DNA sequence: GCCAACGTTGGC
DNA sequence: GCCAACGTTGGC
């Protein structure tokens, strides 16, 4: 069954517009076990809220979908990459990524302030687990947010 | 740039 | 296995 997620990216590094340009992109660089485990749970066709973090303002910018399930993140093996992990080896990968495909950019960006004002979504992990960069979203939360965003 | 929150590491 | 130190995330 299709599941719903929220994934954070700093727009200075990779924004919804960057994904729109590329159409598909690997979601590399995740170095948190809980976030990794959520990515391992994803299946092709799952829908993703693309969240801009560390932005002004931060908030939800659009929608993507999973187009490839979890596979080893190559940056963990690359000494020259900032996400290099010396404990990982190609036969013993630690970190995984999925690939995302661009679906849409919201006509109405939904800032964090506005999200905080929607009473029906206050149990989102976004508010309770502030630092988790990959997190599940319930169908109800998905419906409310995508309706607000206009697409 | 600051700093609170919080996940990870490492000494014991 | 505890927990202090440390590093990172992310809002502001």
Distance A72 CA to B6 C1' (A): 26
pLDDT, tens digit (0-9, with 9 covering 90-100), for A89-143: 888 899 999 999 999 999 999 999 999 999 999 999 999 888 999 999 999 999 9
- Report the distance separating Cα A13 and Cα A31, nearest Å: 16
Please write the tens of the pLDDT for every residue from A17-53.
999 999 999 999 999 999 999 999 999 999 999 999 9
> How many distinct helices (H) and strands (E) make up chain A?
5, 6
A132 CA, B1 C1': separation in Å?
A: 23
Q: Please give the structure tokens belonging to residue A60.
A: 């939800």
Q: Scan residues 73-132 of chain A and list those with Cβ within 7 Å of strand B.
A: 128-132
Nearest nucleotide to A8, CA against C1' atoms: C10
Task: For residue A81, name the pLDDT band (cuts at 50, 70, 90).
Answer: confident
CA of A126 to C1' of B5 (A): 13
Domains of chain A: 4-126 (3.10.590.10)
Q: What percent of chain A has pLDDT over 90?
A: 85
Residue nearest to nucleotide C11 (CA to C1'): A54
Which nucleotide's C1' is closest to A35 (Cα)?
Answer: B7
Lowest mean pLDDT among A69-73, A83-87, A113-117: A83-87
Q: Estimate in Å the CA A53 to C1' C9 gap, whole number.
A: 9
Whether the predicted model's global pTM rises above the 0.85 cut: yes
Q: Which nucleotides of B are covered by protein (CB under 7 A)?
A: 1, 5-8
Judge whether residue A151 has pLDDT over 80.
no
Neighbouring C-beta atoms of residue A122, cutoff 10 Å: 13
Classify residue A26 as exposed, middle or buried by CB count within 10 Å of its CB (0-12, 13-18, 19+): middle
Please tell me the distance from the alpha carbon of residue A67 to that of residue A103, in angstroms, as a whole number.
11
């Amino acid at each position: 069954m299709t599941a719903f997620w929220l994934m954070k990216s700093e727009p200075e590094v990779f924004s919804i517009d960057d994904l729109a340009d590329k159409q598909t992109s690997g979601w590399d660089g995740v170095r948190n076990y809980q976030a990794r485990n959520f990515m391992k749970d994803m299946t092709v066709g799952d829908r993703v809220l693309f969240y801009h973090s560390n932005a002004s303002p931060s908030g939800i910018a659009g929608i993507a979908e999973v187009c490839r399930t979890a596979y080893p993140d190559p940056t963990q093996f690359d000494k020259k990459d900032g996400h290099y992990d010396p404990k990982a080896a190609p036969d013993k990968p630690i970190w995984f990524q999925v690939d995302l495909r661009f679906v849409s950019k919201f006509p109405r960006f939904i800032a964090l302030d506005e999200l905080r004002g929607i009473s029906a979504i206050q149990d989102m992990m976004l508010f309770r687990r502030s630092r988790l960069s990959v997190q599940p979203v319930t169908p109800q939360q998905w419906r409310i947010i995508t309706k607000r965003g206009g697409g």
